[in-house]
Structure 1
């Protein structure tokens, strides 16, 4: 019954044209048909498999405990990532607000790493970090919420970053000014508060390493991160989740600010995209090269169009950049809203997000970490750098529950460690890279990472 309610709540978005054989379906390993001809039975089977893989996470919801659901509705939040369940154990957590440029309060969630003696029962695999901390500002998408990115915010905090996730003051149209207001607030101190109010400064200003600040965002927030990350010189790295947006060609996003005509592209930026938007629909012919571009500089949308305009803009400017396209991923792999999403997308998203900030934020002042992060970005197989933080995406196993919090103990997260990178990359859209080796001017790159890796 719950599975039916989920399907109805999504308006049939997960209906597929060809039902994949569950016994033969392998969403973690290699695809069943590597290079089928368009229109062939093999093409149709591979496409059906991909669509089925893109809905596995919502299928998993049907097996979750009823406590995770509001009756008759899909789960709007990730119950496993409730901050109250892990504050003081995996990270430190506070809430705050700061006025926006319009004067309205911007609510934020602040996640700080555990320092020595500040957390109890730190899980195995995690470690403490001493301040000052690098920081990442996280911007949600249009008609969305900061709460939908708790996984990324908490993963970054567990890896040593102070993360600030903001709630925009309006569903659309204020993402740019609101995010800029939060960035300005982040840098404000008692000696240099925001103008007009001596009390307007970041509450953890004394724990911030102002040399290392990045910005990440999803959808409309991804365009916001793409822009503010280039215009604000205090920001050292960008991660755009579906997707990195071109600023000089075809800007279409309405975020409350626009790129200047003379904007200089200077900040390293990672884009992570997906096979599908909100709906999982058949792909009957190769979508690349795209016949049209209805989304301007954006790399997302409902039609087949270029996914890489932001990547190509940075590459042309000689700035390090990368585009990772998720196999069977959807627009909701990044926000855990309860709609169609793949089982392994979250792990890949967190893997590359961590590696990118380690390379271009922490790594800017830690050569050893920069080298390690570069290896992760160019690796042929995943390590456990993301898996060690994964407590949510998984399949509920009621038989494994012995005592305590059944919702937490019964979840068995999916892992990507040891699996080939190419098996997690889209076979419809190319993943690309153009990045510089630490301590060198040597640039490695690939316009098809699935075929050739990043080297």
Structure 2
């Protein structure tokens, strides 16, 4: 990697040298001198942190441990019957594949608890990961699943986000998609080459859904992989066999503290594409954070031929935050002013659908603000990691955790316009962390019901922005390094057992929820197959020429003694046009005429008691309403005349 590193660095210097000697294009307002200073920010992480001698010593020591660890994994769970890492550049987890070396003492210094896991993907590949939480915290916590980027980005690159969120009161799952980190390169049986190479993308979509399935599994309802999308093969026998052998986890070992009705998704790069789509179609997900960058796909990027997963065109209902930087995967200096709205297309689409969203662009930032790679070739600014941690936590606190009175203030803070650590090292002593080239935007509704829309966050003056009342300056590392509580009698078993950042399968590292005990629950396992039951309350439903308000109730029985968890209520509004219908769309307009049975659902507010309200012009005529509920087990309610439907006449 050293030779390639030198070649890429030299190439960047040549491009920058040419830029400094060139005049701005005729008629453009491009400032080559400013661009040179802006581009220099991509070297901050290396110059100020990762190339320092103390950091390099720590990095090398971790590399020695990681080399031993992978040798143990191959000995304990390698070919021909176990995992294979053929074709993977990061399976040894050295140098650029290590992540932030400062985060490897999370367990040993009691900053929190971490448990290694292994589970079987739908195509038979074995996927590796970790669960993160703290002893301190409520009995039930919201959860977050983090999906990596591609091109050999292991989960370690995202531990900064996982540890920050764990300290903020979440149960967090990091995992390696197929073909990366400690996960299998290949599938099994007829799916041996399914998802190979992983950079084709499907493992980041199907895998995100598989990770959610594992994350929401419990002792009473253990994880069972879905049938393969490609061949329809059921690889459940492999999962069961590996659980019994103590190799795989039967279910989420932190299930007892996870609130399955409050789950968010975070993803980077190709993983950002995965969470942007899966998050919108999966009823278990409440909100999304996408690192470089937020998407709004009009159709399914990948199909599932076997039908084991629905792949509809998404209806945009989930609040979604995008974070990006001035430069991309292969940072090169600008030679002209970029298009200011180029980073905001996904966020703009969600705004048009009436969904809370934001897109924040880091000045001098790169694709690697969000994947910590301690190698100077993969440049990044110094403060990007902190800004990312700040906004990720605030967004999920508002839309997943809920009930946090400080979340609005943290999202609408002006602190990042005058960040002292940024100003101290910036060539222009500018403490404003937001891009000068690309507009950062915020479009949210506060808990008080007020819409705050700012299309350019960088300059001061956006209404609703101000101080957040938190400590200045913010440091994600300082937040992570607060010592956790000590496990005491009564602490859940998932928080009082072995805590280790080692990968599952290395010597002396037990896999969470594995072995014969994990496959023998005290009661017969219960699988929730009952859909929610929703009702429209006619007496509280009103329609006029200017607005529509639909109210109702819903419940989910679950099964046996395992309670159900409502996660989403959606309403379809159809205007009858002859024998066909026109359906209300997210934009507030009505669709072209089509069969009245083809409902188009839009998200409602609330679950057990819910409200769907829209202010829009409504022509006279007949309107048919339909409601549909979904639960955490993935059950979706069927249409029932007289209960889930209501016909109204507007005169």
Q: Given the two structures, how large is their TM-score scaled by the length of structure 1?
A: 0.73
**1:116-168 deviation line (CA, Å, top 9, x unaligned):** xxxxxxxxxxxx32331111000001121111101111111111111100111
Aligned to 2:370: 334
From the CA coordinates, give the structure whose radius of gyration is larger: 2
State the distance in 2 between where 1:223 and 1:246 align.
Answer: 9
Q: Partners of 2:454 and 2:304 in 1: how far apart?
A: 35
Whether 2:113 is the aligned partner of 1:97: answer no
- Corresponding residue number in structure 1 for 2:526: none
Matched, 1:155 2:143: no
For the residues of structure 2 that align with 1:6 and 1:329, how far apart are their CA atoms?
22
CA distance in 1, matches of 2:285, 2:43: 36
Q: Distance in 2 between matches of 1:328 and 1:101?
A: 40
**Alignment partner of 1:323: what SS?**
strand
Q: How far has the Cα of 1:179 moved from its partner?
A: 1.2
With over 3 angstroms needed to count, the CA separation of the structure-2 counterparts of 1:424 and 1:74, relative to structure 1, is same
* 1:247 counterpart = 2:297: yes
Aligned to 1:349: 388
Residue in structure 2 matched with residue 142 of structure 1 by the alignment: 150
The change in CA–CA distance for 1:12 and 1:448 in structure 2 (over 3 A counts) is same
- What is the aligned partner in structure 2 of residue 112 from structure 1? 133
Q: Distance in 2 between matches of 1:221 and 1:256?
A: 18
1:327 CA drift (Å): 0.4
Q: Distance in 2 between matches of 1:415 and 1:99?
A: 44
TM score, norm. by length of structure 2: 0.52
SS in 2 for 1:434: strand
Q: From the superposition, tell whether residues 380 and 164 of structure 1 become closer, same or farther in structure 2 (CA, over 3 Å).
A: same
The reply to whether residue 381 of structure 1 matches residue 379 of structure 2 is: no
Task: Tell me how far apart the structure 2 counterparts of residues 95 and 377 of structure 1 sit (CA, whole Å).
Answer: 33
CA root-mean-square deviation: 3.6
What is the aligned partner in structure 2 of residue 286 from structure 1? 337
Q: Which runs of 5+ in 2 are unaligned?
A: 21-25, 65-93, 180-197, 225-235, 244-249, 465-651
CA shift in 2, pair 1:89/1:175, >3 Å: same
Q: Paired residue for 1:220, among 261, 270, 277? A: 270
Q: How does 1:120-199 map to 2 (within 5 A)?
A: 128-143=136-151, 144-170=153-179, 171-172=198-199, 173-195=202-224
Q: Would the aligned equivalents of 1:20 and 1:49 in 2 still touch at CA under 8 Å?
A: no
Partners in 1 of 2:458 and 2:310 — Cα distance? 32
Tell me if 1:445 matches 2:433.
Answer: no
Deviations 1:268-327 (A, max 9, x none): 00000110013332223221157xxxxxxxxxxxxxxx2112101111110100000000
Post-superposition offset of 1:421: 11
Q: CA deviation at 1:87?
A: 4.3
Partner of 1:45: helix, strand, or coil?
helix
Q: Measure how far apart 1:193 and its partner are.
A: 2.4
Q: Return the alpha-carbon distance in structure 2 between the equivalents of residues 317 and 422 of structure 1.
A: 34
- Taking structure 1 as reference, are residues 180 and 416 closer, same or farther at Cα in structure 2, changes over 3 Å only? farther
Q: Which residue of 1 aligns with 2:16?
A: 17
5+ residue gaps, structure 1, are 22-36, 116-127, 291-305, 388-412
Whether the 8 Å CA contact 2:434–2:440 is kept in 1: the answer is yes
Is 1:205 aligned with 2:244?
no
Q: Assess if the C-alpha contact under 8 Å between 1:347 and 1:416 holds in 2.
A: no
CA deviation string 1:346-366 (max 9, x = no partner): 111111001101111112xx2
Counterpart CA distance in 2 for 1:422 and 1:326 is 12
Corresponding residue SS for 1:282: coil
Q: Name the SS of the counterpart of 2:164 in structure 1.
A: helix
CA deviation digits over 1:93-115, x for unaligned, max 9?
110111111122111111112x2
Q: 1:431 aligns with which of 429, 433, 440?
A: 440
Change (3 A) 1:19 1:352: farther
**Partner of 2:513 in structure 1?**
none
- Aligned equivalents of 1:244, 1:9: Cα separation in 2: 31
Which residue of 2 is the match for residue 397 of structure 1? none
- Per-residue CA distance 1:235-280 (angstroms, 9 max, x = gap): 111000001012117x8x6698999554211110000011001333
Tell me: CA distance 1:331–1:318, structure 2 relative to 1, closer, same or farther (3 Å). same
Q: Over residues 63-98 of structure 1, what are the superposed CA-to-partner deviations in whole Å (9 max), with x where a residue is unaligned? A: 233422479x95432343444454461110110111
Deviations 1:344-391 (CA, angstroms, capped at 9, x unpaired): 11111111001101111112xx2xx1x3111111111159xxx9xxxx
| CA shift in 2, pair 1:59/1:84, >3 Å | closer
Q: Structure 1 CA distance, aligned partners of 2:131 and 2:11?
A: 34
Deviations 1:187-213 (A, max 9, x none): 112222234578732111111011211
CA–CA distance in structure 2, aligned partners of residues 255 and 341 of structure 1: 35
Residues 85, 186 of structure 1: alpha-carbon distance in 2 compared, 3 angstrom cutoff: closer
CA distance in 1, matches of 2:11, 2:171: 36
Aligned with 1:361: secondary structure? helix
